[in-house]
Homo-oligomer: A and B are copies of this chain.
Amino acid sequence: MVARSDDTLQTSDAGTAEQSAADLERAEALALQLEVVRGASRRLVEPLSAEDCQPQSMPDASPVKWHLAHTTWFLETFVLEPALDGFIPFHPDYRVIFNSYYQTVGAQHPRPQRGLLTRPSLEDVWRYREHVERRVADLLRGGGIDETLCDVVELGLHHEQQHQELILTDIKHLFAQSDLRVAYDGAAAAPSRQAVADLAWRTFNGGTVRIGHDGNGFAFDNETPRHRMIVEPYALATRLITNGEYLEFMRDGGYETPSLWLSDGWATIQQQGWSAPLYWSRESAGWQLFTLGGMRELRGDEPVTHISFYEADAFATWAGARLPGEAEWELAAGGQLKGGNFAESRLFHPRPASPADRRELSQMFGDVWEWTRSPYTPYPGYRPATGALGEYNGKFMANQMVLRGGSCATPRSHIRATYRNFFPPDARWQFSGLRLARDS
């Protein structure tokens, strides 16, 4: 099935430049990260069969197998191909079928039909991964890689972490379609009930502030340039909104009251027939929740998640508040430790806020992505990368809203205060929730 290329490691001219000691150290560090990140992907897929990795449950999702191959294609196309003289691809067809949306690279397999690619098999994809991984590691350790390519390797690892989160949200969506209600991991979403403190607020003065990434460490291009802006005084709720609070909104007729909703939001809930968050189902025994640990009772103290921007916005309106702007969120998060409930805890489900946190901001990182009221737009002076990688972020800057802070499915090392995630306002299959804000 798989045509394997015999490319021996002839690095191209691009990689023959003299390397400084710092470069060598960086390359070595990247080689270690490559192992760690790629190993994390492997572990994520362990509970799944080849058949589990095959289907695509909706056009927005992708098969697990495709995620594994696409992240490999990324390294092959953007690292190996420019780095290696006489580069031969692992399999010529992979160039097309595992290209996501890089028009500059070439044709793509139609997105809604990714689940129909039964070949290559999962086993072949593991071989593809090993083949590319080994060559990238050799490049990094062989000294034959310049700073630009190091940057691309680093981007490729963060790219892989993004797909790790998608693997979790896509498999959750897939398993939710079956009457068998399969658990991805029996230990996931184990409840830790505790009394949640009443909602409290913390105020911020705002003023002329600086927003965006400062250049220390990795960031995506969409976090730059760091720039000044004026933020008016505001307050943020110290914790996320819970299922219990969301149920109050529902019981108060939230889904039947048009004045609470944006016009497009109201149209969406009518058309989709939404009357609760995704994965909630009303059973005779009360509200049940589908989680990566299977079906279980809904807990009132856990953060609400799997809601669209429209629902987050309507809840905030009902609560007499609003969603935070992304600058407000970033300003508040800047001073926070990046503790939280991430993918590494393998809970894969948001956790109740600690009552001890009442006065301080809590849950800013991890648990759930927080919808902001900011459309996803370029920062003043934004320049996308040149070449195909310029398609990574910039071309999506329309019709999407920014989310901040990472979730229980995000790797801890992937997130930072300046990180801008983005999804269309009707997307619900991510671990998305909300924190209230208000003018102060």
Knowing A113-B177, A232-B227 touch, does A182 contact B261 (C-beta < 8 A)? no
Smallest Cβ-Cβ distance to A383: which chain B residue: B439
**CB–CB B116/A57 < 8 A:** yes
**CB–CB A381/B232 < 8 A:** yes
**CB–CB A258/B103 < 8 A:** yes
Copies per complex of this chain: 4
Q: Does any Cβ of B come within 8 Å of A148's Cβ?
A: no
**CB–CB B118/A398 < 8 A:** no
Minimum Cβ distance to chain B for residue A184 (Å): 11
The A240-275 residues at the B interface (CB cut-off 8 A) are 258-259, 261-266
Q: Mark A380-402, 1 if CB is under 8 A from B, else 0.
A: 11000000001100011111000
Minimum Cβ distance to chain B for residue A209 (Å): 10
The A267-299 residues at the B interface (CB cut-off 8 A) are none
Q: How far is the CA of A397 from the CA of B375 in the complex (A)?
A: 10
Q: Does any Cβ of B come within 8 Å of A366's Cβ?
A: no
Q: Mark A330-348, 1 if CB is under 8 A from B, else 0.
A: 0000000000000000000
Knowing A51-B121, A259-B391 touch, does A179 contact B377 (C-beta < 8 A)? no
**CB–CB A97/B381 < 8 A:** no
Q: How far is the CA of A1 from the CA of B115 in the complex (A)?
A: 23
Q: Does any Cβ of B come within 8 Å of A208's Cβ?
A: yes
Residues of B within 8 A of A179 (CB): 93, 96-97, 109
Chosen A-B contacts, 9 in total, with CB atoms closer than 8 Å, are: A49-B121, A52-B118, A54-B54, A54-B55, A55-B115, A57-B116, A227-B232, A261-B395, A399-B425
